[in-house]
Chains A and B, each alone.
Chain A
Amino acid sequence: MKHHHDHSHDRSFDEGPTSEYEIMSRAMQELLIERGIITAEEVRRRMEQFDADFPYRGPRVIAHAWADPAFKARLLADGKRACAEFGLDLEAERLIAVENTPDVHNVIVCTLCSCYPRALLGMPPTWYKSENYRRRVVREPRAVLAEFGTIVPEHVAVRVHDSNADMRYVVVPMRPAGTDGWSEAELARIITRDSLVGVTLPKV
């Protein structure tokens, strides 16, 4: 069975038979377009933003925070405001940045549904949306972190943030040793998405 896709520059072909839900989603989109509620272009542009824009924002903001302690302080005081200052419109998202320190390691979850700071990080990874992550990270965060290869020493407190209501969270990891004099672009390259959710640490 062939699929009607606008492949354009997207190479994520869907394999296998078309699911009922894919048909449903496309049908809803077409009905809304026919009724003049939205346009195909709006949806296409939004897909583009999620792919090509949002995922690159988080690392740039945190790299800037590492390079500029005053900006970092403003980021920690009000994440949304600091991002706006940095030129990033987080739209409706109310961002709170939480800082890893030698005493505290932070990790983010949304147990109720998978809320995530999408306008800063793009789409959440499949593991973040998985039932086992949502079930277990609030109850046994250290065991969950260990599954990602992250062992937090006993003397470091693990702080879980369940973004269960209106706020969204991002972790500001500690800047690793061996990065003195790096440019923000070089710093951004080691700031992985997973480290901004708190399941891993940036590595030089």
Chain B
Amino acid sequence: MSLPSAYTEAPARRFNVGDRVAVKAANPPGHRRTPHYIRGKRGVIERVCGVFPNPEELAYGFNGEPKRVLYRVRFQQRDLWANYSGSARDAIELEIYEHWLEPA
């Protein structure tokens, strides 16, 4: 019996590790898992997490299908905050759904 994994396969995906992406600057109402502080910002795909039912739909009792691809995206802190007071190499990583991403 195979062991469970943190990841699922995402063969039909738009982005790959290393791709530069931008998070959409949209502000739709309703349940979203894309924090405001990251919207409109640019980063790099760090990891492909897999496909998951869309939480924006699950939140309202829908089944969240078709599943959406989820990525981990790395952002440089100095790109996010004016007057960032840490090191130039400091970073933040978030999980962003594919429909929130555009190529950068």
A contacting B, Cβ–Cβ less than 8 Å? yes
Interface residues of A (CB under 8 A from B): 78-81, 84-85, 90, 94-96, 111-112, 138-143, 154-167
Judge if B60 is at the interface, Cβ distance under 8 Å.
no
Contact with A along B82-102 (1 / 0, CB 8 A): 001111011111111100000
Q: Is the CB of B72 within 8 A of A158?
A: no
Q: Is the CB of B70 within 8 A of A166?
A: yes
Selected contact of A78 from candidates B5, B77, B90, B97, CB within 8 Å: B5
Interface residues of B (CB under 8 A from A): 3-7, 33-35, 37, 47, 49, 52, 55, 70, 72, 77, 80-81, 84-87, 89-97
- Please name 13 further chain A to chain B contacts, defined as beta carbons within 8 Å, in addition to the given A94-B49, A160-B93, sorted by A numbering: A80-B4, A94-B7, A140-B86, A141-B90, A155-B87, A156-B87, A159-B92, A160-B77, A163-B95, A164-B35, A165-B49, A165-B95, A166-B49
Selected contact of A94 from candidates B6, B35, B81, B90, CB within 8 Å: B6
Contacts of B37 in A (CB 8 A): 111, 138-139
Contacts of A157 in B (CB 8 A): 87, 89-91
Give bound CA distance, A194 to B60, whole Å: 35
Q: Is the CB of A139 within 8 A of B4?
A: no
Give bound CA distance, A105 to B96, whole Å: 22
Contacts of A138 in B (CB 8 A): 37, 92
Q: Is the CB of A166 within 8 A of B93?
A: no
B20 → chain A closest CB, angstroms: 18
Contacts of A81 in B (CB 8 A): 3-6
Q: Is the CB of A164 within 8 A of B86?
A: no
Contacts of B70 in A (CB 8 A): 165-167
Q: Is the CB of A165 within 8 A of B97?
A: yes
Given A80-B5, A158-B87, is A164 in contact with B34 using a C-beta cutoff of 8 Å?
Answer: yes
Contacts of A142 in B (CB 8 A): 85-86, 90
Give bound CA distance, A167 to B49, whole Å: 8
Q: Is the CB of A162 within 8 A of B92?
A: yes
Give bound CA distance, A84 to B6, whole Å: 11
Selected contact of B35 from candidates A112, A155, A158, CB within 8 Å: A112
Contacts of B55 in A (CB 8 A): 165-166
Give bound CA distance, A87 to B56, whole Å: 33
Q: Is the CB of B35 within 8 A of A79?
A: no
Selected contact of B87 from candidates A80, A111, A140, A154, CB within 8 Å: A154
Contacts of A161 in B (CB 8 A): 92-94
Q: Offer 17 A-B interface pairs, CB within 8 angstroms, sorted by A.
A: A80-B6, A84-B4, A94-B7, A96-B47, A111-B37, A112-B35, A141-B86, A156-B87, A158-B86, A159-B90, A159-B91, A159-B92, A160-B77, A160-B91, A162-B35, A163-B95, A165-B49
